[in-house]
A and B are shown apart, each in its own frame.
Chain A
């Protein structure tokens, strides 16, 4: 085991009697580097090797921009829908008592456990013009399968547990006494929800939204079946990467992947900033 000689004021690790630091940290770092870091930096390296003009030509291509718009737009819409219904589901699970609550609670994790391809073909069958739900929507002139709306439906399915599981524990921690105090001071239920409950939940809701959004942007398996995959209309960015790979157009696949990664990280950064702002704002 390697312990750096103790320099005044700075040491790599605090002394401990527990053995195995060098072995476990060494193995973990080696495994992380081999499996994750080297392959990911390969992607960065390959897109840097493209050069700015080539990179920009691929990214500014109308089909690429359309695919990115569809991916980010549908993921945003789905995450917004999930914020509303996910928060409601969490509220019902935390505040109300009803038979079978534990089963409903367990079901919320289904999208984590169900393989995305299975979700994809099941949702497509449901929302196809002759499917159980598609049949009902047809007379109303609403087409879901093979349109961007279908993508949103698939992403709502995928993202739901992210919102519920982020908001639920925070809701459970809310002290009822605060609500009671507000009530005795004459606040209406509406005031209590908007002025007391919501500010406390806002950071969790933002986190849930960003997790669902990030997952939705990259989602592939559940979307490609229901989307119809028409270029410029319902073609998502991950699918465009796969199409470029199948054409052996590695530079294009790499560039689209790099821009997706960059946008995702940028988004996470913005979300973190919003979150620290809301934490300051609402304490």
Chain B
């Protein structure tokens, strides 16, 4: 695999005429503007999070994180991600297999539908479940009669999270598996492997880095989702408060250290996600396919 650093240097020759690149001062100005913009919009907010979290010292920071409500918020966030991410992994692999390995009518339409949750406001993603399962909802009376609780409880939070993170794994795997074609699988099948063996020993190893990439993004969004979860959670402290919701509650109580302490954990998660994502792109760029960004 070509080293991306070397590759990106290749088309650049130092002897460039002024018409093919900008003059030195123009270049300096453009870079300065770009860096200033990124500094103000990306770096400063990140610094503020950690600065505010530690504003009253490390003691106050660890104390804020040790509070029972914060701990239960962390537990709930981990639980919700642990349920919703695997669900979307299974769906993503299944959808990618059907769409990438076969030619059938309506494929483009199906692919569009999979992307649908990205164009729906998170608040609406939560709202649709309230309309379905709420007291005035379509299934509300039936659920109540059978003692099933979905809304303002963990199942509702999981559903809303699954909705907003729905496309991540699938849209990472579909182009990758399409690019790889069916040759490997056909070879395995002709050598006598059954379908499951073909998937497990041939397809999965081929797409594992792309899958990890999709899971990484899916997980970051699952743990950080605010709008959709906020609508279905009911904000019951210690029970249905995920970490982002807990950040909001603490912030609105003017508990800046507490809010930013929890926020710093989420910011840490974001940074870890970015580092892993960059490492995957550098090391396995070709095996993640040309699907950078979203």
Contacts and interface: CB of A to CB of B under 8 A. Distances in A.
B interface, size bucket: 35 or more
Nearest to B199: A20
A268 B195 CA distance: 40
A238 interface: yes
Interface residues of A, number: 101
Contacts of A25: 98, 102, 104
Contacts of B119: 214, 218, 264-265, 268
Contacts of B270: 110, 113-115, 118
Contacts of B136: 248, 250
Interface in B265-285: 266-267, 269-271, 273-275, 277-278, 282
Contacts of B37: 85, 88-89
Nearest to B167: A36
A108 B162 CA distance: 25
A76 B52 CA distance: 31
Interface in A227-283: 238-239, 241-242, 245, 248, 250, 253-254, 257, 260-261, 264-265, 268
25 contacts: A24-B94, A24-B95, A25-B104, A40-B120, A42-B131, A85-B37, A88-B33, A96-B30, A106-B277, A108-B42, A113-B277, A114-B267, A115-B247, A117-B224, A117-B247, A131-B48, A161-B294, A165-B293, A166-B293, A183-B20, A189-B19, A241-B127, A242-B123, A242-B230, A265-B119
Interface of B: 9, 11-12, 17-22, 27, 30-31, 33-35, 37-38, 40-46, 48-49, 52, 90-91, 94-95, 97-98, 101-105, 110, 113-114, 116-117, 119-124, 127-132, 134, 136, 138, 159, 162-163, 166, 182, 185-186, 189-190, 194-195, 198-199, 217, 220, 223-227, 230-231, 243-245, 247-248, 251, 256, 259-260, 263, 266-267, 269-271, 273-275, 277-278, 282, 290, 292-294
8 closest Cβ contacts across the A-B interface? Answer: A165-B293, A218-B121, A115-B224, A183-B19, A221-B226, A13-B104, A220-B227, A39-B128
